[in-house]
């Protein structure tokens, strides 16, 4: 992990932690979820095109109303178009990917890049055509626990246009 990425993640986690501490009861105690306890599952073909694996790290809690996961895309894999009711941060940890907001040009992303998607903004993200990509997703949840609204697949034509060098 490079220094810039480490500082960014530490700053983000400190900020989230400070907010959570102000909301948690004094009697609460920290928990540790060991790496071998993470649930890993394949991305649904109702939400992704290609081979995608999701490693669930955290669920939303009373103190931090967001979940986190590593999402790994093999080359050419991508999400469907979607929105988030409370927004999302993506931190690219490995490889090269593509992100696109509806109505805008696609952008290449690489390890260390951080993407913020505001609530309700239609977008997609995935690996490039020649590289796998993994990102850490930090996704806010609404009062009902909903964190994503899946829409239509990214067409092959849309993806090919987005993945041009």
The residue extents of the domains of the chain are 40-162
Top-confidence residue, 60 or 113? 113
Give per-residue pLDDT as tens, 94-140.
999 999 999 999 999 999 999 999 999 999 999 999 999 999 999 99
Q: Could you say which architecture CATH assigns to the domain 40-162?
A: Sandwich (2.60)
For every residue of 26-63, DSSP letters joined together read: TT-------GGG-EEEEPPTTTEES-EEEEEEE---SS
Q: Give the predicted TM-score (pTM) of the model.
A: 0.82
């Amino acid at each position: 992990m490079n220094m810039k990425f480490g500082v960014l993640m530490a700053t983000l986690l400190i900020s989230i932690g400070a907010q959570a501490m102000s909301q948690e009861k004094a009697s609460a105690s920290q928990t540790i979820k060991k790496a071998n306890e993470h649930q890993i599952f394949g991305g649904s073909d109702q939400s992704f095109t290609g081979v995608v694996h999701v490693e669930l790290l955290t669920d939303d809690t009373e103190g931090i109303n967001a979940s986190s996961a590593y999402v790994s895309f093999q080359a050419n894999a991508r999400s469907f178009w979607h929105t988030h009711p409370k927004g999302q941060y993506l931190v690219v940890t490995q490889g090269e990917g593509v992100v696109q907001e509806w109505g805008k040009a696609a952008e290449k992303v690489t390890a260390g890049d951080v993407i913020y998607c505001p609530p309700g903004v239609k977008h997609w993200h995935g690996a490039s055509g020649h590289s796998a990509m993994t990102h850490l997703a930090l996704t806010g949840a609404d009062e009902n626990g909903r964190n994503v609204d899946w829409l239509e697949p990214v067409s092959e034509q849309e993806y090919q246009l987005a993945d041009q060098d």
